[in-house]
Amino acid sequence: MSQGMIYNIQRMSVQDGPGLRTTVFLKGCPLRCLWCSNPESQQFTPQMLLFDNLCVSCGACMQVCPNGAVVPLENGKMGRDTEKCTHCGACTEVCPNKARVMSGRIMTVEEVMEVVRKDWLFYENSGGGVTFGGGEPTAGGQFFLDLVQTAHDEGLHVTVDTCGFCPEDRFDKTIGLADLFLFDCKHMDPEQHKKLTGQDNALILRNLEAALSSSTEVRVRMPLMPGLNDSNENLAAMAAFLGRFGRKQVEIMPCHAFGKSKYAALGKPYPDVQQYTPEGLKAAEERFARHGLVLVIV
CATH number corresponding to 47-103: 3.30.70.20
Mean pLDDT value of segment 209-219: 98
Partners of residue 153 on adjacent β-strands: none
Q: Is residue 15's pLDDT more than 80? A: yes
Q: Looking at residue 207, what is its pLDDT?
A: 99
Residue type, 183: F
Q: Is residue 1's pLDDT more than 80? A: no
Q: Looking at residue 157, what is its pLDDT?
A: 99
Q: Is residue 248's pLDDT more than 90? A: yes
* pLDDT, tens digit (0-9, with 9 covering 90-100), for 221-240: 999 999 999 999 999 999 99
**CATH classification for the domain delimited by 3-44+104-297, as one of 3.30.200.20, 3.20.20.70, 3.40.50.720, 3.40.1160.10:** 3.20.20.70
Q: Looking at residue 3, what is its pLDDT?
A: 98
CA 246, CA 265: separation in Å to the nearest integer? 44
Question: With bands split at pLDDT 50, 70 and 90, how would you rate the model's confidence at 274?
Answer: confident
CA 186, CA 29: separation in Å to the nearest integer? 15
Q: Looking at residue 109, what is its pLDDT?
A: 99
Mean pLDDT value of segment 239-243: 96
Q: Parse the chain into domains and list their residue ranges.
A: 3-44+104-297, 47-103
Q: Among 142-151, 180-189, 211-220, 266-275, whose mean pLDDT is lowest?
A: 266-275
Q: Is residue 217's pLDDT more than 80? A: yes
Mean pLDDT value of segment 43-63: 97
* pLDDT, tens digit (0-9, with 9 covering 90-100), for 150-185: 999 999 999 999 999 999 999 999 999 999 999 999
Q: Looking at residue 258, what is its pLDDT?
A: 86
pTM (predicted TM-score): 0.94
CA 145, CA 54: separation in Å to the nearest integer? 38
Which of 116-147 are b and which e, b meaning 16 or more Cβ less than 10 Å from the residue's Cβ?
A: beebeebbeeeebbbbbbbbbbbbbeebbbbb
Per-residue CA distances from 82 to 177, 258, 287 (Å)? 42, 24, 45
Q: Is residue 272's pLDDT more than 90? A: no
Q: Is residue 298's pLDDT more than 90? A: no
Q: Looking at residue 123, what is its pLDDT?
A: 98
Q: Looking at residue 250, what is its pLDDT?
A: 96
